[in-house]
Amino acid sequence: MDIKKGQKLREEWGDKPCDHPSFEKETQGAPISGLGYVESKTGDYICTQCGETFTKVEKDEIEANRAQK
Under the banding of pLDDT at 50, 70 and 90, the label for residue 30 is: confident
Question: Which amino acid type is present at position 49?
Answer: Q
* Residue 6 CB burial class (10 angstroms; 0-12, 13-18, ≥19): buried
pLDDT the model gives residue 38: 67
**What is the spatial distance between Cα 30 and Cα 51, in angstroms, rounded to a whole number?**
20
Contact 10, 51 (CB under 8 A): yes
pLDDT the model gives residue 52: 96
Q: Where are the domains of the chain?
A: 3-68
Under the banding of pLDDT at 50, 70 and 90, the label for residue 56 is: very high
| Mean pLDDT estimate for the chain | 89
Secondary structure class of 19 (helix, strand, coil):
coil
Regarding pTM above 0.85, the answer is: no
Under the banding of pLDDT at 50, 70 and 90, the label for residue 67 is: confident
